[in-house]
Amino acid sequence: MNGIKNTINDIYGITNAINDINGIKNAINDIIGIKNSINDINGIKNAINDINGITNSINDINGNTNAINDITCIKNAISDIYGIMMK
Position 71 scores a pLDDT of: 97
Interatomic CA distance for residues 78 and 74, integer angstroms: 6
> Cα angle at 66 between 63 and 68, to 5 degrees?
110
pLDDT band at 76 (very low <50, low <70, confident <90, very high): very high
4-45 confidence digits (pLDDT tens):
989 999 999 999 999 999 999 999 999 999 999 999 999 999
Position 87 scores a pLDDT of: 74
Question: Could you give the residue ranges of the DSSP H alpha helices within 1-87?
Answer: 2-86
Position 2 scores a pLDDT of: 86
List the domain boundaries for the chain.
Answer: 1-87
DSSP letters spanning 61-85? HHHHHHHHHHHHHHHHHHHHHHHHH
Position 80 scores a pLDDT of: 93
Please say whether the dihedral angle defined by the alpha carbons of residues 26, 27, 31 and 34, taken in this order, is positive or negative: positive
